[in-house]
Amino acid sequence: EMIRSQAQCATIIFATEHPHHVLECDGELYDILGYSADEVVGRSIKFLFGPGTDLTKVNASIKGACFLVSNSIDTMVYGRDGVSHNVLLTCASRCLLSSSCHLAFVFETGPHVCPTRTLRTASAGQKFVEKSKIQFTHEIFDRVCIAQNVRFSHTEKCRCFTPSATVQYLPFCDDFGPMKLASVIEFITLLEKELASHSSKIVYCVEEGARNLTNAVFLLGAYLILMLDLSTDHVLGRFGWLDEGAIEAFRDATFSEPDYALTLEDCWRGLERGKAAGWIRRPSGPAPWLWGRIDMRAYSHWDDPLNGDLHMVVPGKLVALRGPRDLPCGDHADAGG
């Protein structure tokens, strides 16, 4: 087997339907296996495999990709000259939510391969894309996936979930999150309704940009902590595939250069601590608005700037509210009734 000093990466796009004919491939395929694009396009992907290939793993990887589950496996593929090559093979859906979904094989060979980068490459169907433009879909937990920069149309396998119309962060300056508690609860309520109404995969389709992705990841992590009782460490593991540059730390509500970073882990650990203290937990009785010691009806009332913009930081002990402001002389009315 040929020994290479640097990792090499090649991509093949092929049809979902058996026998999985190749639709396109990149030039790196020639460097690794000796095949030109003209020799590959139109052929079944089975030309890659031989006696040393673990076909059980390959078939399972293809089946998983059809259901939006991407993974990487170590296996053997064969070049044009019949020489075997040990590769890290990743199968993922490309343009997952379009009407014409295809699959992608990305395989790397060499001493320094990266499954995370390979998975994102497979989903994108290309190797060099600006981080904020990368297409990806990844399953976070059973039936719930997250996707960004993908085209969408509802299919029998998946539905697009876009709560951004009702779950929003309203910035003061250059701040963009984290989402307030009312938004977290609204997100959980919408996702629970979606899961109960449909048996297909639910794909959280996130708008472009690192800040939108950061807020989406925070909300999914909050769901895992509050509804599935996962620890912050487990939640971090569910998002370990994300490149660090794909998300952005939260900042203070100014336009100045921030001198500290509030991370997703900080936010999740705070939520986990509040849950352990009994301050917040999912409703279990006849009052769906009561999340632990947080009455969401009262929360929404006092959260309104017309009612003080007041929040309870420590239940029964500490509140925070907007500072007082002098009003000019004259008659004033309560605009909120």
Do both 201 and 251 map to the same domain? Answer: yes
Do both 47 and 115 map to the same domain? Answer: yes
Which domain covers residue 312, as residue numbers?
Answer: 282-322
Do both 143 and 176 map to the same domain? Answer: yes
Buried b (16+ CB within 10 A) or exposed e, 261-297: ebebeebbbebbebbeeebbbeeeeeeeebbbebebe
The enclosing H or E element of 101 equals none
Do both 38 and 143 map to the same domain? Answer: no
332 in a structural domain: no
Q: How many domains in the chain?
A: 3
Do both 98 and 116 map to the same domain? Answer: yes
Residue 323: is it exposed, middle or buried by C-beta count within 10 angstroms (0-12/13-18/19+)?
A: exposed
pTM of the full structure: 0.66
Do both 94 and 215 map to the same domain? Answer: no
Do both 191 and 314 map to the same domain? Answer: no
Do both 174 and 237 map to the same domain? Answer: yes
What is the residue-level pLDDT of the chain in tens, covering all 337 positions?
333 335 577 888 888 887 888 888 877 788 888 888 888 898 998 888 888 888 888 888 888 777 666 667 888 888 888 888 888 888 877 654 444 467 777 777 754 444 444 444 444 443 333 444 566 788 899 899 998 887 766 777 788 899 977 898 988 899 999 999 999 999 999 999 999 999 888 999 999 889 999 999 999 999 999 999 999 999 999 998 887 788 899 999 899 988 889 999 999 999 999 999 999 999 988 899 999 999 999 999 999 888 888 988 888 899 998 877 777 888 877 766 5
Do both 96 and 141 map to the same domain? Answer: no
Do both 247 and 311 map to the same domain? Answer: no
- Which CATH number belongs to the domain containing residue 85 in this structure? 3.30.450.20
27 in a structural domain: yes
Last residue of a domain, one of 104, 128, 152: 128
- Which CATH number belongs to the domain containing residue 144 in this structure? 3.90.190.10
